Amino acid sequence: MAEGAGGLSLEVKDLVTSYGAITALNGVSLSVPAGSITAVLGANGAGKSSLLRSLSGLVRPRSGSVLLDGKEIAGRAPEDVVQLGMSHVPEGRGVIAELTVDDNLRLGGLWRKDKADRSAALEEAYALFPPLDQRRKRLAMTLSGGERQMLALGRALVARPRVLLLDEPSLGLAPRITAQIMGLVRRLCDETGLTVLLVEQNARSALSVADHGVVLNLGSVVASDDPAKLAADDNLRHAYLGF
């Protein structure tokens, strides 16, 4: 991704989200500087996906604030959030199985007015993920797990996002593919200044590429530190990170 307007900063304050009686986020605050990667770690049910869903508007937070480049976006609809420059690759990828690879990718940029740049972004995504290029007309349901992850990531990139929310990209992938994806995320961040919030169960590989790490437990931030320091903290590792 050659050009790109660079990333935006993301600032979350006291975010509270609940599903009926279940509180998923209990006052989460974190801050992601523009052009950096923050890893969000935690056990199953810690509230990681809920955090991303609250940021991208898929669920409406009960209270708190989300500042995208200083602008309040909490509670905005997901179709608006993506147009403000924040793309969300959901848990399980959200590839539309009944559509072709090409349709899925095109869909990512459909909201953008600039048609020429739309197709440029599409070709960039194909260049980034050659396996997709060879399967343009195939239905997405025929793709392997790794190819689906590429498709989901490529589709988000076609929107030329300035903040990327990634929910467990390593889920179900072989370690080698996971490493490739992590490497790619790092490269995008370095080359285009993209801001990334990376949710992972696979704490070790996430921390290896992140600039900062946050650990969630039961909807609250229990640690927020340098990746190396988090990885070195034995208590934290045993209690929440599982390695």
Ligand X SMILES: Nc1ncnc2c1ncn2[C@@H]1O[C@H](COP(=O)(O)OP(=O)(O)OP(=O)(O)O)[C@@H](O)[C@H]1O
Residues that bind other proteins (CB under 8 A): 56, 58, 77-79, 82-83, 87-88, 90, 94, 96-99, 103, 106-108, 110-111, 155, 159
Q: Which of 86, 68, 88 is nearest to 199 (CA)?
A: 88
Nearest-approach distance from CB 185 to Mg ion, in angstroms: 18
Q: Which of 143, 61, 57, 129 is nearest to 97 (CA)?
A: 143
CB-side neighbour CA atoms (13 Å) of 215 = 24
- Write each residue from 63 to 82 as x if it is in contact with ligand X (CB under 6 A), else as -, in one continuous string: --------------------
The binder of ligand X chosen from 28, 30, 37, 42 (CB under 6 A): 42
C-alpha to C-alpha distance for 32 and 26, rounded to whole angstroms: 19
Are 53 and 59 spatial neighbours (Cβ–Cβ below 8 Å)?
yes
- The most distant pair of C-alpha atoms in the chain lies apart, rounded to whole Å, by 52
Nearest-approach distance from CB 206 to other proteins, in angstroms: 22
Examine residue 155 and tell whether it contacts ligand X (CB under 6 A): no
Nearer to ligand X, 47 or 109 (CB): 47
C-alpha to C-alpha distance for 27 and 63, rounded to whole angstroms: 8
| Number of amino acids touching Mg ion (CB under 5 A) | 2
C-alpha to C-alpha distance for 112 and 23, rounded to whole angstroms: 36
Stretch that binds ligand X, among 8-16, 17-25, 145-153, 225-233 (CB under 6 A): 17-25
Examine residue 26 and tell whether it contacts ligand X (CB under 6 A): no
Nearest-approach distance from CB 11 to ligand X, in angstroms: 20
The binder of ligand X chosen from 10, 32, 46, 68 (CB under 6 A): 46
Report residue 21 as tokens.
């009686």
The binder of ligand X chosen from 2, 21, 44, 79 (CB under 6 A): 44
The binder of ligand X chosen from 4, 27, 33, 45 (CB under 6 A): 45
Give backbone dihedrals phi and psi of 63, rounded to 5 degrees, phi first.
-160, 175
Nearer to Mg ion, 49 or 202 (CB): 49
Q: Which of 3, 197, 176, 231 is nearest to 88 (CA)?
A: 197
Q: Which residues form the interface with Mg ion (CB under 5 A)? A: 49, 91
